[in-house]
Amino acid sequence: MFHKEGQQIILVSFFVACALALGAEFYIEPQWLRIGLQVVVVILLILILQFFRNPKRTVVPSFDEILAPVDGKVVVIERTEEKEYFKDERLQISIFMSPLNVHVCRYPATGVITYSKYHPGKYLVAWHPKSSEENERTTVVIRTPKFGEILYRQVAGAMARRIVNYAEEGESVQQGEDSGFIKFGSRLDLFLPPDCLPAVRLNQKVKGAVSCIATRAENENGS
């Protein structure tokens, strides 16, 4: 199944691929060059199809866990100052998505959207230290029952040119539902309360709406 954000691109790519393959069949010689071009066209079409795939994942919402919002590799786990919304120290966990990963974004927790803002910006490579503050990005804050407010940030990479964000302030969202899409290589940053406990390690591969990213330390009375 393919994500709705890719429907137009897939349709155009399919017709272009058919036109190129048929054109090569009638107008390109020698045979090895014709076949080579047709193979390349098919491979490119397959890559586009796999990029926009949208695997369905069954989620049982949990107030006690923050789930991975995207597929990819954990590249940052650190305590840092979040400068846009909280303006204090938070636990940052960042996930890098290669062009081969599923690029569907999903809500990491159930709650109410209290902040949603788009920022135009640069297109530094997604692993650049300043990409979270200088690249094209969206910032979304969810008020959750267990964790209070958590923030996630979709960050465009060097190849990305469009971020899709479905979050609207005031709406209630469910953990695991689609929250948007980032086209091509990119990254997603999570900023969690400082008393959260990471449930992942650096370079670990995670799956959106499946892998637990963090839990919260229980206080003395167990709440």
Higher-confidence residue of 4 and 31: namely 31
Higher-confidence residue of 196 and 51: namely 196
Q: What is the pLDDT of residue 157?
A: 66
Percent above pLDDT 70 for the chain? 87
Q: What is the pLDDT of residue 60?
A: 83
Mean pLDDT of the chain: 86
Q: What is the pLDDT of residue 137?
A: 86
Higher-confidence residue of 93 and 123: namely 93
pLDDT in tens, 27-61: 888 888 888 988 998 988 888 887 778 888 888 88
Q: Measured between alpha carbons, how far is 85 from 150 in angstroms, rounded to an integer? A: 10
Q: What is the pLDDT of residue 3?
A: 67
Higher-confidence residue of 118 and 1: namely 118
Tokens 């076949």, residue located: 35
Provide the sign of the torsion angle of the four alpha carbons 210, 212, 216, 222, taken in this order. positive
Of 75, 77, 195, 93, the residue nearest 152 (C-alpha): 93
Tell me, yes or no, if 186 is annotated catalytic: yes
Q: What is the pLDDT of residue 208?
A: 94
Whole-angstrom CA distances from 91 to 15, 77, 140, 196, 215 are: 46, 7, 16, 7, 12
Q: Measured between alpha carbons, how far is 49 from 99 in angstroms, rounded to an integer? A: 12
The answer to whether residue 218 scores a pLDDT higher than 80 is: no
The answer to whether residue 133 scores a pLDDT higher than 50 is: yes
The answer to whether residue 221 scores a pLDDT higher than 50 is: no
0.75 exceeded by pTM:
yes
pLDDT in tens, 159-188: 555 788 999 999 999 999 999 988 766 889
pLDDT band at 223 (very low <50, low <70, confident <90, very high): very low
Catalytic member of 13, 186, 211, 223: 186
Higher-confidence residue of 124 and 220: namely 124
